[in-house]
Amino acid sequence: MKKILLAGMCAVMAAVTLASCSGGNKNDIWDWESEPKAEGRGVTLNVYNWGEYISDGSEGSLDVNAAFTHITGIDVNYKMFDTNESMYALISAGAADYDVIIPSDYMIGKMANEGLLAELNFDNIPNFKYIDPQFRNMSYDPENKYTVPYLWGTVCIFYNKTMVDEADLDQGWDLLWNEKYSGNILMFDNQRDAFAIALKKLGYSMNTTNKAELDEAAAELKKQKPLLQGYVMDQIYDKMGNDEAALGPYYAGDASIMATENENIGFLIPEEGTNKFVDAMCIPKSSEHKAEAEEYINFMCRTEIALANADFVCYATPHTEAKKLLDPEISENPIYYPSNEVLDKAELFIAYPDEINKYMDSLWMDLKK
C-alpha cells in the first residue's frame, strides 16, 4: 500500500518538476547573485499569482522572487491561487492584503468595474516600454490604467495520437462531442471555459449576453456530458499522460508538460476560433505598499526576468525583447505563439454583467446535479 502511495506521489511530483519547458542553462540568463545586495527595507510585498506560474528556482531556473529581494531589499511573501474566482473571493471580501495580483482578463475587467484595483503610476514602471503595443489598452482595461500584461495564451485541444483518428482532426470543437470517443473525452471543469467552447461550436461569440444562446450552449453541454469521462482541470496532465483519456481542451502553454508526460500527445487549435487569454499584473486598491508593488511589476518587466518566466512557464510573453531572446523552439512554435490568422479569430473574455454571471452559474450547476 505504501508503495502505491509513493508511486502516486512520485507521479504528482513528476508533473510538477517537468513544468519547465526547455532544459537547463537558465541560470545563465542573469547572474543576479553577483550584483550588489541591497539592504533590507523592512517591507514585505504580498504577491498572489497562479500556481506554477513563475520561474521559481526549481530545476536550476532563475529564482525571480529571490532575485527581486536581492536587488531591491524588499521581501516577498508569494502565494498562489488556482482559480480567478477563489482569488476574487478573497480580495473582494477584504480578507487578504495583497499588493500584487495576476488575474486573467475578464476578472480584471470585473475587479476594475467594482473599484477593487488601484491606478498604476507608470512613471514607476519604465519597463512597460517593452510590452508589445498589441497587448496594451486591451478590452479589459481600455485606457491601460490598471494593468501590465504578464503572460498570455490560447485554449487548444490536446489529443492522444494513438487513440484519435487523424481523419477526425478537422472536426474542430465538434471533436469533443464525437461519440466515437465516448468515455475518453475530458472537458473543462470551469464554467466560463466550458461555455466558451460550446458557444464557439454553435458559432456564437463566447462573450454573448443572449440568454437564448447560453441556453443552447447549456443544452450542448448536457448532450456532451454522457460522452465525457469527466470534468477536469489539473487532473488532465495525469489523465492524458497515462493514456487514460483520448482528448480534452486545455491551455496551450501547458503543452510542454503534456508532451513530457506522454510523447503521443498532439495539439490542435480549432478552425472556428478559440479563447485567447491574458493574465496581467495589477495592484489591489487596498495595498499599503503601492510604490514597492510598482517596483515589483517593473522588475517583472526586466528583460532577463520576463525571459526567465517565459522560458520556465512556457506561456507566451507580451515582452518584445524577451520573446526575441527566447529559444526559437518555443517562440516559433505555433502552439505557444499561434499565427496571426489564429489570433484574429480568437476571442478575449469580457467581464459579464452580474445578471449573466448568475444565469451562467445556474445553468452550470444544473449540469452538475
Partner 1 sequence: MTKHKIASLPFAVWMLIFTILPLGMVIWFAFTDSKGTFTFDNILKIADFSETFLISILLGALATLICLVMAYPVAFIISRTGERVQQTLVMLTMMPMWMNFLLRTYAWMSILEDKGFINQFLGLLGMEPIHMINTRFAVVVGMVYNFLPFMIIPLYSVMVKIDKSIIEAAEDLGSNGFQVFRRILLPLSAPGIVTGITMVFVPAVSTFVISKLLGGGKEWLIGDFIENYFIGTAKDYNIGSALSLVLMVLILLCMAVTGLVDRDEEKGGIGG
d(CA 95, CA 90): 5
Nearer to partner 1, 15 or 325 (CB): 15
**Pattern 174-193, partner 1, x by CB under 8 A:** ---------------x-xx-
Judged by DSSP in three states, 234 sits in: coil
Cell numbers at residue 320, please? 518584445
d(CA 316, CA 175): 26
**Pattern 241-280, partner 1, x by CB under 8 A:** -xxx------------------------------------
239 touches partner 1 by CB under 8 A: yes
Closest distance to partner 1 from the beta carbon of 89 (Å) = 4
Closest distance to partner 1 from the beta carbon of 52 (Å) = 15
**Pattern 95-134, partner 1, x by CB under 8 A:** ----------------------------------------
d(CA 112, CA 141): 8
Closest distance to partner 1 from the beta carbon of 362 (Å) = 8
Burial of 73 (0-12, 13-18, 19+ CB in 10 A): middle
d(CA 315, CA 311): 8
Closest distance to partner 1 from the beta carbon of 313 (Å) = 22
Task: Give the CA dihedral 322, 323, 325, 330, nearest 10 degrees.
Answer: 130
Q: Of the candidates 5, 133, 263, 344, which one interacts with partner 1 according to CB under 8 A?
A: 5
Q: Tell me the H-state helices in the chain.
A: 2-17, 64-72, 84-92, 105-113, 191-201, 211-224, 235-241, 255-261, 290-300, 303-313, 320-325, 328-331, 340-345, 354-367
The region of 23-31, 82-90, 152-160, 288-296 touching partner 1 under the rule CB under 8 A is: 82-90
Q: Of the candidates 114, 238, 272, 321, which one interacts with partner 1 according to CB under 8 A?
A: 238
Closest distance to partner 1 from the beta carbon of 101 (Å) = 15
The region of 9-17, 37-45, 66-74, 122-130 touching partner 1 under the rule CB under 8 A is: 9-17
Q: Of the candidates 22, 70, 230, 320, which one interacts with partner 1 according to CB under 8 A?
A: 230
> Which H or E run includes 247?
strand 247-251
Q: Phi-psi category of 57—alpha, beta or left, where left has phi over 0 and alpha has psi -120 to 50?
A: left
- Applying CB under 8 A, the residues found at the interface with partner 1 are 4-5, 7-9, 11-12, 83, 85-86, 88-90, 92, 189, 191-192, 225, 228-232, 235, 238-239, 242-244, 357-358, 360-362, 364-365, 368-369
